[in-house]
A and B are shown apart, each in its own frame.
Chain A
Amino acid sequence: MVELKGSDTDFALVSGVRSGDESAMARLYDKYSSIVYSVALRVLGDTGIAEDVLQEVFMQLWRNPGVFDSNRGNLAAWLSVIARNRAIDNLRKRRPETDIDDVVVSVVPDLASDTERSRAMQKVRGTLGAMPDTQRTALEMAYFEGLTHSEIAAKTGEPLGTIKTRIRSALLALRKAFEV
């Protein structure tokens, strides 16, 4: 496992960004641009728009680093939630619906290092792979396509309540996979 130096911890880097240190911002980008870009690309399916979302998310952090603090969860998780929500807003051609100030993420594994993220990624993919197809599909349609449960029900022909239950159960299954 790669040990992070004190000056490269998220806390130290965000502190640097707060004081206008561009190199701190560059290191944060190096650490987390991949997770932000890949979730935006998966949602949007367009590299150009995914790059725009990537730019927007990190510019928000640069302009207003105070919106993130350690009480909001770990930075990787927080950025990924913001990125996914912005990508969905783009996909659905709507104005940003999530106030960045409101997002608090209670996570789970520390995703600060490449090794930890890689391990977590394998576990997530394993958990999704073990789910019934109908459950995984319902979650993916809500998560990556931003479809409401009514829209998913209309597409799949399943009852609304069933869709709701599947989505929640799928998210809880992911949580459970990381419980010690």
Chain B
Amino acid sequence: MSEHEQFGEDLALYALGVLAGYELVDLEKHLHDCVSCRRELDQLRGDMALMALAAAGPAPPKRAGERLMTAIHREPHSSQVHQPGRSWWGALGWVVAAVMAVGVFWFWRQSDSMAQLSAGLKNDLAHQREELSKTRVALDTLTSEKSQSITVLPVDWKGAPPPQGKAIYERDRSSLVFIASNLPALPPQKAYELWLIPKEGAPIPAGVFKPDARGSATVMNPPLPPQVEAKAFAITIEVETGATTPTMPITMMGTGE
């Protein structure tokens, strides 16, 4: 369902002036930025005008027309109003009063919507806190020294588990999580460096790391340029501060799945 389709039914209610609460707030926000939905709103008002025809019938009593004509005759028309010599200071007072009146009315009108919006935001915030809490637990589990790291191998595997790493990369968000295990210990003043090998161009540094005593390491969301298509990831051994170009040899490498 497209975003516009999602708002379609709310637009009809909005045109009728019967949308309320969150849906009203969300739709008005969307309308501010969406030309096609504003156009659809104008059309729905046209549909409303047709609906008025269903009520067509009685003409107003004659006195109503006389009342109107008497009223407009008594009231100076805006095109005829002329106020010579009137100071703009005097007008300023009316302008301030009008602005204040509009402000009071606006706040009065918004208060109900804001109360509902506030309640909704509290719910959203509670939900987001819960999600954040879960994410933190997951991250802590990945990075904590107290966590157990267990490599699962074929039951007939002989010898020590091999070094291995897993890079999980999402190009659109430039988001990368790298988890390694059983890495050999490093020489003094050296570190491993992860490289993103793009489909075109030079390798891009994707984080410097040192494994813990068990050979485990994690790299979480290193700074990366946007929208880079990865052909492979590689690991080299570099100085502790990291390098801008990889130093051969490559110790580990893997291509995309």
Q: Is there contact, CB below 8 Å, between A51 and B60?
A: yes
Q: Which of B56, B80, B109 has the most CB of A within 10 A?
A: B56
The answer to whether residues A22 and B69 also contact, given A63-B75, A124-B50, A164-B10 and a CB cut-off of 8 A, is: yes
Q: Does A2 contact B (CB under 8 A)?
A: no
Query: Which of A22, A35, A73, A139 sits near B42, CB closer than 8 Å?
Result: A73
A164 to B13, CA, bound (A): 7
Residue A104 at the chain B interface, CB threshold 8 Å: yes
CB pair A19–B47 under 8 Å, yes or no, is no
With CB as the reference atom, state the residue of chain A lying closest to B63. Answer: A51
Q: Which residues of A contact B105 (CB under 8 A)?
A: 95
- Whole-angstrom distance between the Cβ of A13 and the nearest chain B Cβ: 14
A85–B193 CA distance with the chains assembled, in angstroms:
67
User: How far apart sit A93 and B54, CA to CA, in the bound complex (Å)?
Assistant: 24
Contact of B55 (CB < 8 Å), options: A25, A33, A63, A144: A144
- Nearest A residue (CB) for B43: A106
Contacts of A125 in B (CB 8 A): 53-54
B49 and A77 contact, CB distance less than 8 A:
yes
A-chain residues with CB within 8 Å of residue B20 when the two chains form the complex: 148, 150
Q: Is the CB of B49 within 8 A of A37?
A: no
Q: Are B80 and A20 in contact (CB under 8 A)?
A: yes
Q: Specify the chain B residue showing the minimal Cβ separation from A139.
A: B51
Interface residues of B in 54-70 (CB under 8 A from A): 54-61, 64-65, 67-69
Which of A54, A81, A142, A147 makes the CB contact (< 8 A) with B49? A81
Interface of B is mostly: helix
Interfacial chain B residues near A143, Cβ < 8 Å: 16, 48, 51
A98 touches B (CB below 8 Å):
yes
Expressed in whole angstroms, the Cα–Cα distance for A73 and B48 within the complex equals 13
In the complex the two chains form, what is the Cα distance from A103 to B42 in whole Å?
8
- Interface residue range, chain B: 35 or more
| Distance (whole angstroms) from the CB of B75 to the closest CB of chain A | 7
- Inter-chain CB contacts under 8 Å: number: 185
B12 within 8 Å of A (CB atoms) = yes
A37 near B43 (CB under 8 angstroms)? no
Q: Is the CB–CB distance between A171 and B18 below 8 Å?
A: no
Q: Is B25 an interface residue (CB 8 A)?
A: no
Q: Give the A interface residue count (CB, 8 A).
A: 71
CB of A76 closer than 8 Å to a CB of B: yes
B75–A47 CB distance below 8 A: no
Q: Contact between B46 and A59 (Cβ–Cβ < 8 Å)?
A: no
| B residues near A98, Cβ cutoff 8 Å | 17
Task: Name the CB-closest residue of A to B38.
Answer: A104
Q: Which of B8, B50, B57, B65 contacts A174 (CB 8 A)?
A: B50
Beta-carbon contacts under 8 Å, B78-119 to A: 78-80, 105, 108-109
- Chain A residues with a Cβ under 8 A of chain B: 18-20, 22, 25-26, 29-30, 33-35, 37-39, 41-43, 47, 50-51, 54-55, 58-59, 62-64, 73, 76-78, 80-81, 83-85, 88, 95, 97-98, 103-108, 111, 117, 120-121, 124-125, 128, 139, 142-144, 146-150, 164-165, 167-168, 171-172, 174-175, 178
Cβ contacts A to B, 10 pairs, < 8 Å? A20-B80, A33-B64, A38-B59, A47-B61, A51-B64, A62-B77, A128-B54, A148-B20, A171-B47, A171-B48
